[in-house]
Copies of this chain bind each other. A is one copy, B any other.
Amino acid sequence: MPYELYYWPGIQGRGEFVRLVLEEAGASYIDMAREPNAEATLTAFLERADLAHPSFAPPFLKDGEAIVGQTAAILLYLGDRHHLAPSDAAHRLWVHQIQLTIADLVGEAHDTHHPLGGDLYYEEQKPEASRRAKWFRKERIQKYLDWFETILARNPDGDAHLVGDTLSYADLSLFQIVEGLLYAFPNTTKAILAKSPRVSALRMMVAQRPRIRAYLKSDRRVKLNEQGIFRHYPELDD
Protein backbone atom coordinates (compact mmCIF):
# COMPACT_ATOMS: atom_id res chain seq x y z
CA MET A 1 0.00 0.00 0.00
CA PRO A 2 1.50 3.39 -0.92
CA TYR A 3 2.19 6.00 1.71
CA GLU A 4 -0.13 9.00 1.74
CA LEU A 5 1.50 12.36 2.44
CA TYR A 6 -0.85 15.09 3.68
CA TYR A 7 0.19 18.72 3.41
CA TRP A 8 -1.03 22.11 2.22
CA PRO A 9 -1.31 22.28 -1.58
CA GLY A 10 0.71 24.71 -3.68
CA ILE A 11 3.84 25.06 -1.56
CA GLN A 12 6.98 23.10 -0.72
CA GLY A 13 6.89 24.04 2.96
CA ARG A 14 7.68 21.43 5.58
CA GLY A 15 6.16 18.74 3.37
CA GLU A 16 9.13 19.03 1.03
CA PHE A 17 11.51 17.49 3.56
CA VAL A 18 9.30 14.40 3.51
CA ARG A 19 8.94 14.40 -0.27
CA LEU A 20 12.71 14.40 -0.75
CA VAL A 21 13.05 11.32 1.45
CA LEU A 22 10.22 9.49 -0.32
CA GLU A 23 11.68 10.37 -3.73
CA GLU A 24 15.25 9.36 -2.82
CA ALA A 25 13.92 6.11 -1.37
CA GLY A 26 11.96 5.38 -4.53
CA ALA A 27 9.00 4.79 -2.23
CA SER A 28 5.48 4.42 -3.53
CA TYR A 29 3.46 7.38 -2.24
CA ILE A 30 0.46 9.54 -3.01
CA ASP A 31 1.08 13.24 -2.58
CA MET A 32 -2.38 14.15 -1.31
CA ALA A 33 -1.61 17.84 -1.89
CA ARG A 34 -1.79 17.16 -5.62
CA GLU A 35 -5.12 15.32 -5.52
CA PRO A 36 -8.43 17.09 -6.27
CA ASN A 37 -9.87 19.07 -3.34
CA ALA A 38 -6.59 18.71 -1.47
CA GLU A 39 -7.22 21.44 1.06
CA ALA A 40 -10.70 20.19 1.95
CA THR A 41 -9.38 16.64 2.27
CA LEU A 42 -6.58 17.81 4.55
CA THR A 43 -8.85 19.90 6.74
CA ALA A 44 -11.36 17.07 7.05
CA PHE A 45 -8.57 14.68 8.04
CA LEU A 46 -7.29 17.07 10.71
CA GLU A 47 -10.81 17.22 12.17
CA ARG A 48 -11.43 13.47 12.22
CA ALA A 49 -12.71 12.45 15.63
CA ASP A 50 -11.79 8.78 15.30
CA LEU A 51 -7.99 9.06 15.29
CA ALA A 52 -6.08 8.03 18.40
CA HIS A 53 -2.98 9.86 17.11
CA PRO A 54 -4.27 13.10 15.58
CA SER A 55 -1.61 15.48 14.27
CA PHE A 56 -1.53 19.05 15.51
CA ALA A 57 -0.69 20.29 12.02
CA PRO A 58 0.50 19.00 8.64
CA PRO A 59 2.62 17.45 7.30
CA PHE A 60 1.64 13.99 8.39
CA LEU A 61 2.17 10.63 6.76
CA LYS A 62 -0.27 7.76 6.58
CA ASP A 63 1.28 4.30 6.33
CA GLY A 64 -1.62 1.86 6.38
CA GLU A 65 -3.15 2.27 9.82
CA ALA A 66 -0.21 4.26 11.20
CA ILE A 67 -0.26 8.06 11.08
CA VAL A 68 2.87 10.02 11.93
CA GLY A 69 3.06 13.81 12.24
CA GLN A 70 5.84 16.35 12.86
CA THR A 71 8.39 16.54 10.05
CA ALA A 72 11.34 15.31 12.11
CA ALA A 73 9.34 12.38 13.49
CA ILE A 74 8.24 11.42 9.97
CA LEU A 75 11.87 11.42 8.85
CA LEU A 76 12.88 9.35 11.88
CA TYR A 77 10.22 6.85 10.84
CA LEU A 78 11.10 6.80 7.13
CA GLY A 79 14.87 6.92 7.69
CA ASP A 80 14.81 3.55 9.42
CA ARG A 81 12.60 1.95 6.80
CA HIS A 82 14.49 3.18 3.74
CA HIS A 83 18.14 3.07 4.81
CA LEU A 84 18.39 6.83 5.06
CA ALA A 85 19.56 6.76 8.67
CA PRO A 86 22.50 4.97 10.32
CA SER A 87 21.72 1.65 11.96
CA ASP A 88 23.72 2.24 15.14
CA ALA A 89 21.88 4.11 17.86
CA ALA A 90 24.40 6.89 18.52
CA HIS A 91 24.67 7.97 14.89
CA ARG A 92 20.94 7.58 14.41
CA LEU A 93 20.36 10.03 17.27
CA TRP A 94 23.00 12.42 15.91
CA VAL A 95 21.21 12.54 12.54
CA HIS A 96 18.00 13.31 14.41
CA GLN A 97 19.68 16.05 16.46
CA ILE A 98 20.85 17.68 13.22
CA GLN A 99 17.33 17.40 11.80
CA LEU A 100 15.87 19.13 14.87
CA THR A 101 18.36 21.97 14.42
CA ILE A 102 17.27 22.23 10.79
CA ALA A 103 13.67 22.44 12.06
CA ASP A 104 14.67 25.40 14.24
CA LEU A 105 16.19 27.12 11.22
CA VAL A 106 12.99 26.50 9.23
CA GLY A 107 10.97 28.13 12.01
CA GLU A 108 13.27 31.16 12.04
CA ALA A 109 13.10 31.46 8.25
CA HIS A 110 9.31 31.48 8.45
CA ASP A 111 9.29 34.15 11.14
CA THR A 112 11.28 36.57 8.97
CA HIS A 113 8.07 37.28 7.04
CA HIS A 114 5.63 36.64 9.89
CA PRO A 115 7.20 38.01 13.08
CA LEU A 116 3.90 39.23 14.53
CA GLY A 117 2.04 35.99 13.94
CA GLY A 118 0.28 33.83 11.40
CA ASP A 119 -3.01 35.67 11.65
CA LEU A 120 -1.72 38.65 9.65
CA TYR A 121 -0.53 38.79 6.04
CA TYR A 122 3.06 39.71 5.30
CA GLU A 123 1.81 42.99 3.88
CA GLU A 124 0.41 43.83 7.32
CA GLN A 125 3.76 43.37 9.10
CA LYS A 126 6.37 44.61 6.64
CA PRO A 127 8.35 46.94 8.94
CA GLU A 128 8.55 44.25 11.61
CA ALA A 129 9.50 41.64 9.00
CA SER A 130 12.26 43.94 7.81
CA ARG A 131 13.68 44.14 11.34
CA ARG A 132 13.44 40.42 11.99
CA ALA A 133 14.89 39.54 8.58
CA LYS A 134 17.86 41.81 9.23
CA TRP A 135 18.88 39.79 12.29
CA PHE A 136 18.30 36.51 10.46
CA ARG A 137 20.40 37.71 7.50
CA LYS A 138 23.21 39.30 9.51
CA GLU A 139 23.64 36.64 12.17
CA ARG A 140 21.49 33.57 12.02
CA ILE A 141 22.08 32.23 8.47
CA GLN A 142 25.82 32.52 9.03
CA LYS A 143 25.66 30.81 12.39
CA TYR A 144 23.61 27.88 11.09
CA LEU A 145 25.65 27.37 7.91
CA ASP A 146 28.88 27.60 9.91
CA TRP A 147 27.58 24.85 12.13
CA PHE A 148 26.78 22.59 9.17
CA GLU A 149 30.21 23.33 7.67
CA THR A 150 31.85 22.45 10.99
CA ILE A 151 29.95 19.18 11.31
CA LEU A 152 30.95 18.17 7.80
CA ALA A 153 34.60 19.07 8.46
CA ARG A 154 34.65 17.03 11.67
CA ASN A 155 32.89 13.94 10.33
CA PRO A 156 35.49 11.22 10.90
CA ASP A 157 34.08 9.31 7.92
CA GLY A 158 34.74 12.17 5.51
CA ASP A 159 33.18 15.53 4.69
CA ALA A 160 30.82 14.38 1.95
CA HIS A 161 27.96 13.61 4.34
CA LEU A 162 26.77 15.06 7.63
CA VAL A 163 26.93 11.68 9.38
CA GLY A 164 28.88 8.57 8.39
CA ASP A 165 29.79 7.87 4.78
CA THR A 166 26.35 7.37 3.29
CA LEU A 167 23.37 9.56 2.58
CA SER A 168 20.94 10.29 5.43
CA TYR A 169 17.70 12.22 5.63
CA ALA A 170 19.64 15.09 7.25
CA ASP A 171 21.72 15.48 4.06
CA LEU A 172 18.52 15.73 2.02
CA SER A 173 17.14 18.31 4.45
CA LEU A 174 20.32 20.40 4.36
CA PHE A 175 20.04 20.45 0.57
CA GLN A 176 16.49 21.73 0.91
CA ILE A 177 17.50 24.41 3.44
CA VAL A 178 20.19 25.73 1.11
CA GLU A 179 17.77 25.79 -1.82
CA GLY A 180 15.27 27.69 0.28
CA LEU A 181 17.78 30.20 1.63
CA LEU A 182 19.16 30.82 -1.87
CA TYR A 183 15.65 31.54 -3.09
CA ALA A 184 14.61 33.78 -0.20
CA PHE A 185 17.89 35.55 0.58
CA PRO A 186 20.06 35.14 -2.54
CA ASN A 187 22.54 37.94 -1.84
CA THR A 188 23.21 36.92 1.74
CA THR A 189 23.25 33.19 1.09
CA LYS A 190 25.52 33.28 -1.98
CA ALA A 191 28.10 35.26 -0.02
CA ILE A 192 28.05 32.77 2.85
CA LEU A 193 28.08 29.71 0.57
CA ALA A 194 31.19 31.05 -1.17
CA LYS A 195 32.96 30.51 2.15
CA SER A 196 31.23 27.16 2.88
CA PRO A 197 32.81 24.68 0.45
CA ARG A 198 31.53 21.54 2.17
CA VAL A 199 27.93 22.69 2.40
CA SER A 200 28.10 23.77 -1.24
CA ALA A 201 29.50 20.40 -2.28
CA LEU A 202 26.84 18.52 -0.35
CA ARG A 203 24.16 20.58 -2.06
CA MET A 204 25.54 19.64 -5.50
CA MET A 205 25.96 15.99 -4.52
CA VAL A 206 22.32 15.70 -3.45
CA ALA A 207 21.06 17.54 -6.55
CA GLN A 208 22.92 15.05 -8.73
CA ARG A 209 21.60 11.88 -7.18
CA PRO A 210 19.61 10.23 -9.97
CA ARG A 211 16.25 10.07 -8.23
CA ILE A 212 16.53 13.58 -6.76
CA ARG A 213 17.66 14.95 -10.11
CA ALA A 214 14.67 13.38 -11.83
CA TYR A 215 12.36 14.66 -9.11
CA LEU A 216 13.66 18.24 -9.29
CA LYS A 217 13.02 18.27 -13.04
CA SER A 218 9.54 16.81 -12.70
CA ASP A 219 6.29 18.67 -12.13
CA ARG A 220 6.01 16.89 -8.77
CA ARG A 221 8.45 19.50 -7.41
CA VAL A 222 6.31 22.54 -6.60
CA LYS A 223 8.18 25.76 -7.35
CA LEU A 224 9.22 27.92 -4.42
CA ASN A 225 6.83 30.84 -4.12
CA GLU A 226 5.59 33.57 -1.81
CA GLN A 227 3.04 31.36 -0.03
CA GLY A 228 5.53 29.01 1.56
CA ILE A 229 8.22 29.18 4.23
CA PHE A 230 11.08 30.45 2.06
CA ARG A 231 9.74 33.57 0.31
CA HIS A 232 11.66 35.93 -1.90
CA TYR A 233 10.86 39.48 -0.93
CA PRO A 234 13.76 41.55 -2.31
CA GLU A 235 13.29 44.16 0.40
CA LEU A 236 14.17 41.54 3.03
CA ASP A 237 17.53 40.67 1.42
CA ASP A 238 19.12 44.13 1.17
Which residues of A are in contact with B by a Cβ distance under 8 Å? 51-56, 66, 68-70, 72-73, 76-77, 90, 93-94, 96-97, 100-101, 103-104, 107, 111, 115-119, 128, 131-132, 135-136, 139, 144, 147, 150-151, 154-156
Contact = CB atoms under 8 A, between A and B. Distances in A.
A52 B103 CA distance: 21
B96 A116 contact: no
Nearest to A91: B53
Contacts of A156: 52
7 contacts: A52-B156, A73-B100, A77-B93, A107-B107, A116-B128, A116-B135, A119-B135
Copies in the complex: 2
* Secondary structure dominating the interface of A: helix
Given A90-B66, A136-B117, A73 B97 contact: yes
Given A56-B144, A93-B77, A117 B132 contact: yes
Given A56-B144, A90-B66, A111-B111, A96 B118 contact: no
A135 B117 contact: yes
A15 B125 CA distance: 32
Contacts of A70: 96-97, 100-101
Contacts of A115: 111, 115-117, 128, 132
A151 B54 contact: yes
Contacts of A117: 115, 131-132, 135-136
Given A52-B154, A52-B155, 19 more contacts: A52-B156, A53-B94, A54-B151, A55-B97, A56-B104, A56-B144, A66-B90, A70-B96, A70-B100, A72-B72, A72-B100, A73-B100, A100-B100, A104-B107, A115-B128, A115-B132, A116-B131, A117-B132, A117-B135
Nearest to A66: B90
A132 B115 CA distance: 8
Nearest to A105: B56
